[in-house]
Amino acid sequence: MNDSAHPALGIGICGLGTVGGGTLALLRKNKDEIGRRVGTELTLRHVATRTPKPDITAGIPTVSSDPFLAAEDPTVEVLIETMGGYDPASGVIERALQNGKHVVTANKALIAEHGNQLFKLAASQGRILAYESSVAGGIPIIKALREGLAANRIDWLAGIINGTGNFILTEMAAKQREFGDVLAEAQALGYAEADPSFDVEGIDAAHKLTIMASIAFGMPLNFAATYTEGISHITPDDINYAAELGYCIKHLGIARQTAAGIEMRVHPTLLANNRLLAKVNGVGNAVLVHGDAVGATLYSGPGAGADATASAVVADVIDIARQCVAGAERPLMPALGYREQQDLPLLAIEDIAAEYYLRIPALDRLGVMAKISSILEGHDISIEAVIQKEASGEIVPIVILTHRAAERQLNRALSQIEALDDVRGCINRIRVEPFHGEAA
Ligand code: HSE
């Protein structure tokens, strides 16, 4: 029963997979509490699902197999899109907005790659397109960037924003497990994307980083400009060498605003063991945000899974419902960038500078280390630490940690080193982040 003065708000859900199913369950489980917080009842009126699930859709007035029917349904005021993918999700969201509905989506790929047009449509319709659950699962990072930190100039943000990747790296490091075995477990637990290469190749993290950077720096979404490197080239040896040097390896998304422009990059990263992000394990996500007024702030929590993601989806629905109850004519949730045009230069990965971990597959010959050092020195790259193991075969890996160097110079040096007779195969390079200014 709805005892409040405001009529109940009709909710539709398109897609009953991990996130949609979790959302439906959460709306039911906390129905009374949510109703009290909003000031009216949220009523499930329409669920569209490709696979019939009568056990969980019982009692919902309309259950269909066509998401466009939910986008047309006049009893639905807020449509939740949890189908994922680009098509038909994009068309369904457009149709719902054109029909005057607010939309909540968990679809990071769609927002990162096509969000600029969708937000324009939402604004022209005076409707909200909300996407909290698209980044870092249950952590309210979008709200923090958009609202809590709105007074700051954001200098940089960095996060572990793919739960599957963090789960894999954690298990490999802690239990010496095989990559493929841990990935299979992440899939079974509902953490991984339908195509898990999105997780391991960094595409999923790049979608999320693109969205956060757009809000943080007030610019349009620029997915194509986000440098993306996965974790599939990280070996147990790299994890062990990093540990010997006092580091762990995390898959990070980093966005930074400098005098030269904007960096947006996703790649495996060496972090000293005492850094905050180094302590985030398993499916956990965490984002460090540095604002000029507040300094460093950390947001941490579960980054994937049905319940955690549903928490963020339903929070968006509650935000929208509160505005509807308050009677806002054109409800407002500032979308993304406040600049329509990209007026800050976007930097390529060759334009950055970092410290580097290098694993060089070299022959066990006298003088090889001297040749490598001389090439590095010739490119203004100085060495901070070296590990050289006893040869167990023909190849002996030389592991080097460099001081800060320009990536463009490093690329030139690595090409010369790889061309040496004494070096066999590709050098594995992993960037190192010191995070100066982090309140560790
Ligand atoms: N596959 C994603 C992850 C799901 O592992 O983080 C949450 O976005």
The CATH number given to whatever domain includes residue 366 is 3.30.70.260
Residues with CB under 6 A from ligand 1: 137, 162-164, 191-193, 199, 204, 303-304
- Preceding amide of 88 cis, omega within 30: yes
Query: pLDDT tens digits, residue range 114-136?
Result: 999 999 999 999 999 999 999 99
Per the domain annotation, does 370 fall within a domain?
yes
In order of 33, 38, 315, 410, the CA distances from 26 in angstroms are 11, 15, 11, 50
DSSP state of 153: P
> Given the CA of residue 196, which atom of ligand 1 is nearest to it?
1
The residue to mutate among 110, 133, 169, 204, having the most atoms of ligand 1 within 8 angstroms of its beta carbon, is: 204
In order of 68, 377, 406, the CA distances from 90 in angstroms are 11, 52, 40
Per the domain annotation, does 342 fall within a domain?
no
162 Cα: distance to centroid of ligand 1 (angstroms)? 5
pLDDT score for 272: 96
282 Cα: distance to centroid of ligand 1 (angstroms)? 12
pLDDT score for 440: 42
Helix ranges, 278-436 (H): 306-326, 368-378, 407-418
Per the domain annotation, does 32 fall within a domain?
yes
Stretch (H or E) spanning 272: strand 262-272
The CATH number given to whatever domain includes residue 269 is 3.30.360.10
Per the domain annotation, does 4 fall within a domain?
no
> Given the CA of residue 164, which atom of ligand 1 is nearest to it?
5
The residue to mutate among 160, 185, 199, having the most atoms of ligand 1 within 8 angstroms of its beta carbon, is: 199
pLDDT score for 394: 84
108 Cα: distance to centroid of ligand 1 (angstroms)? 10
134 Cα: distance to centroid of ligand 1 (angstroms)? 9
Both 163 and 114 in a single domain? no
Query: pLDDT tens digits, residue range 136-191?
Result: 999 999 999 999 999 999 999 999 999 999 999 999 999 999 889 999 999 998 88
pLDDT score for 334: 57
Q: Which protein residue's CA is at the shortest distance from atom 7 of ligand 1? A: 304
170 Cα: distance to centroid of ligand 1 (angstroms)? 15
Both 153 and 261 in a single domain? yes
Per the domain annotation, does 85 fall within a domain?
yes
> Given the CA of residue 165, which atom of ligand 1 is nearest to it?
5
Both 272 and 156 in a single domain? yes
For residue 17, count other CB atoms closer than 10 A to its CB: 17
Both 114 and 158 in a single domain? no
Is 208 in the active site? Answer: yes
DSSP state of 382: -
Per the domain annotation, does 73 fall within a domain?
yes
In the β-sheet with 78-81, what is the strand arrangement from edge to edge? 62-64, 42-48, 9-14, 78-81, 102-105, 129-130
Angle, in degrees to the nearest 10, between helices 89-98 and 108-125: 20
Both 202 and 275 in a single domain? yes
> Given the CA of residue 108, which atom of ligand 1 is nearest to it?
8
> Given the CA of residue 285, which atom of ligand 1 is nearest to it?
6
Helix ranges, 10-162 (H): 18-29, 31-38, 54-57, 67-72, 89-98, 108-125, 141-143
Both 290 and 275 in a single domain? yes
> Given the CA of residue 199, which atom of ligand 1 is nearest to it?
1
Token digits for 109? 């790929």
The number of domains in the chain is: 3
Kindly name the residue from 208, 250, 371, 389 that is annotated as catalytic.
208
Sign of CA dihedral 365, 366, 369, 373: negative
In this prediction, the residues of the chain whose per-residue pLDDT falls under 50 are 440
The neighbouring-strand residues paired with 103 are 79, 129
DSSP strand pairing (428-432 vs 262-272) = parallel
Whole-prediction pTM value? 0.95
The residue to mutate among 110, 164, 250, 307, having the most atoms of ligand 1 within 8 angstroms of its beta carbon, is: 164
Both 131 and 64 in a single domain? yes
**Domain, as residue range, for 132:** 9-138+306-326
The CATH number given to whatever domain includes residue 36 is 3.40.50.720
Both 192 and 270 in a single domain? yes
Token digits for 318? 């509650």
Per the domain annotation, does 203 fall within a domain?
yes
164 Cα: distance to centroid of ligand 1 (angstroms)? 6
Both 231 and 357 in a single domain? no
Q: Which protein residue's CA is at the shortest distance from atom 4 of ligand 1? A: 304
Both 172 and 297 in a single domain? yes
178 Cα: distance to centroid of ligand 1 (angstroms)? 20
In order of 165, 169, 236, 250, 339, the CA distances from 196 in angstroms are 10, 15, 20, 18, 34
138 Cα: distance to centroid of ligand 1 (angstroms)? 11
pLDDT score for 339: 67
> Given the CA of residue 198, which atom of ligand 1 is nearest to it?
1
The amino acid at residue 93 is I
The amino acid at residue 52 is P
Nearest CA among 262, 237, 252, 417 for reference residue 352: 262
326 Cα: distance to centroid of ligand 1 (angstroms)? 34
Both 96 and 163 in a single domain? no
pLDDT score for 333: 65
The residues, any chain, with a CB within 8 Å of residue 181's CB and separated by 6 or more, are: none
Token digits for 421? 């007779």
Both 153 and 291 in a single domain? yes
Per the domain annotation, does 110 fall within a domain?
yes
